[in-house]
Structure 1
């Protein structure tokens, strides 16, 4: 039995919004390449499609998934999905972390029954303004109420003023520090994986091949927790 779990987060915006033909198999191949145990995907978009990417992407990791469709239209839905190789200990909770009249935002919180014990995983995609992200980070801290916690997603956070990093450090001080945006010439660390203080990020990396499919690079991390 391994003492680490492999987590991946990826904003797949480019595949759905920038690539008119959307290479779903290409995205799936990137995920399969690294065999992650838990995957948080943002900006999944089924609008204008005849299939359901939410369901098809779930088959890449396992049968366990939780969705947060923040925009629902007649033409399809838009949002995020949390995929897991292992079952959820209970029904995942989707929290509305929207700020005022800005774009709807959600956070998915699920307790995953991993081989190293139950881990609470929070997947999210935060807003574009400083005040919006600050309030949303406070909401994430309230969700991080378990002994083992991982928070993953696109945090849109690059300023120190009211930064998400400072807020989450109160509960999850360990984080990845990889440049992920824009994918072809990454400068900003928008996509991250955080863990509680009893967690250790053994290894963290990205995959430049993913730039063919999105304007964000994915972040992968092997994580262990102290007993």
Structure 2
């Protein structure tokens, strides 16, 4: 299963132009099975999707949307998109405490070769908030059927500081992903629980407009392991 995570900054590129098309064109090039997006909804006004829902559907993506979502792509800026062949169930979400408005979107995903439970995250700007938020996510995800995967923008920029994950979990990054023009910080990561292996991890080298966001996307293959 090919997975991609990307903080798309509300579809505002480095040129400060909003362009959902740039994001969707890039996703077509990357051709993952599952996409986890952060900052995929406006922060105010009911949090409308930064990517028009009709265009998302026209490109062949199915968003994992909580019950009652109107103009929302996901929950508090986090979105999960699926290609044909993947189904979802048991959608859950919860707010994460901190100075900023944060949340996590979770779902059980089932594909051609099995299933797992996924959490799409965007953690806070302060270290002690990040650790508390990650604990809340792992506890909530642990109530769902395994194996488990946590994907997204961790905002952990400090060198030599590891995210505290439960025993048996592994943390993976593709190197610096922020800022996209001159990457310095390893913010975007994949955390895999027991039973899952992360392989072929990296930043897609070409085929898309690198001005599309202030983060670089991260792609990986996730397999039983």
TM over 0.5: yes
Q: Partners of 2:140 and 2:76 in 1: how far apart?
A: 23
Name which of structure 1's ranges 55-64 and 26-35 shifts more when overlaid on structure 2: 55-64
Q: CA 1:57–1:80 in 2, change beyond 3 Å: closer, same or farther?
A: farther
Helix, strand or coil for the counterpart of 2:87? coil
Structural mapping, 1:163-174, within 5 Å: 163=161, 165-174=162-171
Helix, strand or coil for the counterpart of 1:107? strand
Residue 114 of structure 1: which of 98, 111, 115 is its match? 111
The runs of at least 4 consecutive aligned structure 1 residues that moved more than 4 Å come to 17-20, 46-52
Q: CA 1:82–1:197 in 2, change beyond 3 Å: closer, same or farther?
A: same
1:87 aligned partner: 87
Aligned residues: 211
Q: Partners of 1:119 and 1:131 in 2: how far apart?
A: 28
Q: Partners of 2:54 and 2:78 in 1: how far apart?
A: 13
Q: Which has the higher helix share?
A: 1
Q: CA 1:62–1:194 in 2, change beyond 3 Å: closer, same or farther?
A: same
Residue 131 of structure 1: which of 110, 122, 128 is its match? 128
1:27 is aligned to 2:27: no
1:202 aligned partner: 199
- Asked if structure 2 preserves the Cα contact closer than 8 Å seen for 1:176 and 1:204, the reply is yes
Name which of structure 1's ranges 137-146 and 150-159 shifts more when overlaid on structure 2: 137-146
Q: Unmatched 5+ residue regions in structure 2?
A: none
Helix, strand or coil for the counterpart of 1:135? helix
Q: Tell me the C-alpha RMSD between the 2 structures.
A: 3.0
Structural mapping, 1:28-67, within 5 Å: 28-46=24-42, 53=51, 55-56=53-54, 58-59=56-57, 60-66=59-65
Q: Partners of 2:221 and 2:40 in 1: how far apart?
A: 24
The Cα shift of 1:148 comes to 1.4
Q: CA 1:186–1:14 in 2, change beyond 3 Å: closer, same or farther?
A: farther
Q: Partners of 1:205 and 1:184 in 2: how far apart?
A: 16
- Asked if structure 2 preserves the Cα contact closer than 8 Å seen for 1:174 and 1:200, the reply is no
- Asked if structure 1 preserves the Cα contact closer than 8 Å seen for 2:13 and 2:212, the reply is no
The Cα shift of 1:178 comes to 2.2
The Cα shift of 1:223 comes to 1.0
1:159 aligned partner: 158
Helix, strand or coil for the counterpart of 1:96? strand
Q: Unmatched 5+ residue regions in structure 1?
A: none
Q: CA 1:28–1:156 in 2, change beyond 3 Å: closer, same or farther?
A: same
Q: Partners of 2:15 and 2:152 in 1: how far apart?
A: 21
2:187 aligned partner: 190
